[in-house]
Amino acid sequence: MAAPSPAETKTLSWKVGGMDCASCATKIRGAVERLPGVSDVKLSVMSETLTLSLDAGQTTPEAIEKRVNGLGYTAAALARAPAEKPAAKGSCCGHDHHEHDHGGQNHGRHGHGHAGHEHGEACRSDHAHCHDGHDHDPKPAKAAPASDHGHGLPGHVHEVTPDGARWYQTGKGRLVLGTGLLLGAAYAIRLLAADVGHWAFILACVIGVFPVAKRAFAAARAGIPFTIEMLMTIAAVGALFIGAAEEAALVVFLFAVGEVLEGVAADRARASIRALGDLVPKTALVEENGATRQVDAASLKIGQIVLVRPGDRIPADGEITNGISGIDESPVTGESVPKTKGIGEPVFAGSVNREAALRVRVDKAAEDNTIARIIRLVEEAQEARAPTERFIDRFSRWYMPAIVGLALLVALVPPLLLGAEWSTWIYRALALLLIGCPCALVISVPAAIAAALSAGARQGLLMKGGVVIETAAKTGLVAFDKTGTLTQGKPRVTDIVALAASESEVLALAAAVEHGSAHPLAEAVLERTRADGIAYAPAAEAAALAGQGVTGSVGGRAIFVGAPRHAEKRAAFDKRARLAAEELEAAGKTVAAVVVDGALAGLIALRDEPREDAAAAIAELKAMGIRSAMLTGDNARTGAAIAAGLGMEHKAELMPDDKVAAIKALAAEAPVMMVGDGINDAPALAAASIGVAMGSGTDVALETADGAVLKSRVRDVAALIRLARAAMANIRANITIALGLKAVFLVTSVLGYTGLWVAILADTGATVIVTANALRLLRFDAGKAS
């Protein structure tokens, strides 16, 4: 058969209800991939979505839904982008937003990311961040039918479902209640009529195991015979045949309880990401022609002016055009202290305006704002599986058949070769089947990864997947870019040397001739003048002398501000002046001499100073056993001065390709993490074992990097590594718990010390324990040094 042409192949997406763990995703992938015409299958447990490429001439979308539904899940089709308009990266899949008014709906209760969105009814513009990997279900009264599929039906479990239903209103919840009531009734009947009690337990078991068996045989028909549902069905039916009806009914009930708990735990892991979506307001006040009107925040366009009143959340990323106010950015960056911002300064969607009214020009569309990017990065990270997770996946593929084979040997060998009692060894084999389920092992890694990614996102620490977490945990050396990473990225006045005039006069004269200049050094002088409250009048006849400095006239006096080597041609430098200039330059500072009517009035030193937390960050890394190195394109003297002050290694005067070579050389010594912020850092970020971008950096750096520190604090680099190490320790503990419990109960089951109900309790218990242990990471404070 000829390969389908691109025109015949469509990319389709479904919201999958009940996909609560990695083994669920594996089962769905295996079943769907076997259908003809299906390729490029992607599943996201975090966003509960299935995306694939489909040749509709070989398999219809309805057949996909039937296959998924048959496995006990629910598949609700999501609208797709037109084939001729492929989605740009970070776009809303090529769709226009559709405006809906949902009143006071708590819109973030079920927002999950996916590769293809629910558009039209399902991609709601009231969320201000419909984007590549994020959508929210709306209020039930306005909900599209597709967005309700799977809620409250068998196979879909959430602690609180989007339509307001509690766990006991879902299919699995009703199964728990039903089997529990039947089990209780059977016990009551046995007390009243012992001979009828046995049949009551059989009835309870059959009714409870029926939906499980239905899913098991659907998976078997799809080519996946070895599933937990199949093991459960065999064990329950086998127990009935050997007269253990009471235990069979109890096992079915405990299995149903375990599935509900797994669904609740999965939703807990998703909740923190959904909470991020709640930060962006649903509506915004747009100013046009002097009047304001309320619009959906998701419909805001770049260039529009929005009014943000005191106490309101900012609806979009943008720049202040009017007003000064304290901005609380803690919802976005985690920074607890509000920042005072004014005209020309950037603000982020989701931040809270605390003090005065602001007018903000929208700079980014809803799908590209800071919150949307955070959510998108985290959701994409869920699909980047860790090496440990991939190994466990491969391990579980042969482990399940091996357990079934071992159970057959236990059931057959003793009776056939040793003449042992058949019912005893069949019972032990059934217990072995139940305890052999690898659920706890399979979920041990993805649960910890999801919790770590969610915890990191809340603390402004982004890592793009499990492989990044594993690599970050092994970091032995952190290489930092200097400008904008270790330093603020702009020069500041550090020293004023008064010679023939006072410090304030030297600064005022320099500011007078620098007034109106956009040069970074001029801006630093003017900023210091404003900070010190020094008054000055702009110089007359101000002019720039290319490569030398600036000149002007203040009160009839001729002023020159420039490098000492040029100033020496205009004024005499005595020993003190020359020595001061040399010492400042030796410290890696830029020196500007201020000359007034041919006399040296003073010197001003400027330098791009390290961030306030840079030294503490390097000390933290050292305490963690991690080396630090600074890679900079700056001159060797400045690089050496900054590095010495921070106590780290350095390499200076590096071009972007030199940084890549330096990274490769360092990688030969230890796994290297590169931290940078600029476009010139992108090649080095890509070349390192793991690249981390500063959140204040360029989009190119953020896209190239494997992770990001959104608060732009150097100490967060240590926090990110600390979180990665905690996640890996959690994963190791989970694997130990899962395998340890299996090993103990496999032995006790074969020896006859534990029965069926203990086996399923141990299996469910192991799953709950590893999930609960993983969820502890949601409360992990990465900022605290251990």
- How far is Cα 381 from Cα 406, in angstroms, rounded to an integer? 37
> One-letter amino acid identity for 85?
K
Taking only Cα atoms into account, the Rg of the chain, rounded to an integer number of angstroms, comes to 33
Residue of 267, 265, 266, 240 lying closest to 252 (CA atoms): 240
173 sits in which H/E element: helix 171-192
267 and 775 Cβ atoms separated by less than 8 Å: no
Which residues, 6 or more positions from 451, have their beta carbon under 8 angstroms from its beta carbon? 269, 727, 730, 774, 775, 776, 777, 778
> Which token pair is 52?
């694939």
- Alpha carbon of residue 122 to chain centroid: 23
682 and 700 Cβ atoms separated by less than 8 Å: yes
- How far is Cα 776 from Cα 374, in angstroms, rounded to an integer? 22
Q: Which residues pair with 694 in a beta bridge?
A: 709
560 sits in which H/E element: strand 557-562
Neighbours of 169 (CB within 10 A): 15
- Exactly one of 278, 481, 677, 706 is catalytic; which is it? 481
- How far is Cα 92 from Cα 135, in angstroms, rounded to an integer? 10
Q: Which residues of 662-700 are buried (b: 16+ CB within 10 A; e: fewer)?
A: bbeebbeeebbbbbbbbebbbbbbebbbbbbbbbbbbee
- How far is Cα 185 from Cα 175, in angstroms, rounded to an integer? 15
DSSP secondary structure letters along 513-529: HHTT---HHHHHHHHHH
371 sits in which H/E element: helix 370-382
Q: Which residues pair with 629 in a beta bridge?
A: 479, 649
253 and 212 Cβ atoms separated by less than 8 Å: no
666 and 629 Cβ atoms separated by less than 8 Å: yes
137 catalytic? Reply is no
Rounded to 10°, the helix 520-531/503-514 angle is: 130
Length of the chain: 786
> Which token pair is 230?
């199949």
602 sits in which H/E element: strand 599-607
∠ CA 702-707-709, nearest 5°, is 80
Residues 14, 282, 378, 370: what is their CA dihedral angle, to the nearest 10 degrees?
140
773 sits in which H/E element: helix 756-775
∠ CA 140-141-146, nearest 5°, is 55
> One-letter amino acid identity for 208?
G
φ, ψ of residue 659 in degrees (nearest 5): -65, -40
701 and 674 Cβ atoms separated by less than 8 Å: no
Q: SS3 of 507, please?
A: helix
Positive/negative CA dihedral, 759, 760, 764, 765:
negative
31 and 66 Cβ atoms separated by less than 8 Å: no
φ, ψ of residue 587 in degrees (nearest 5): -85, 10
- How far is Cα 659 from Cα 496, in angstroms, rounded to an integer? 34
Q: Which residues pair with 674 in a beta bridge?
A: 479, 691
Residue of 349, 271, 316 lying closest to 112 (CA atoms): 271
- How far is Cα 251 from Cα 434, in angstroms, rounded to an integer? 9
Catalytic residues: 481
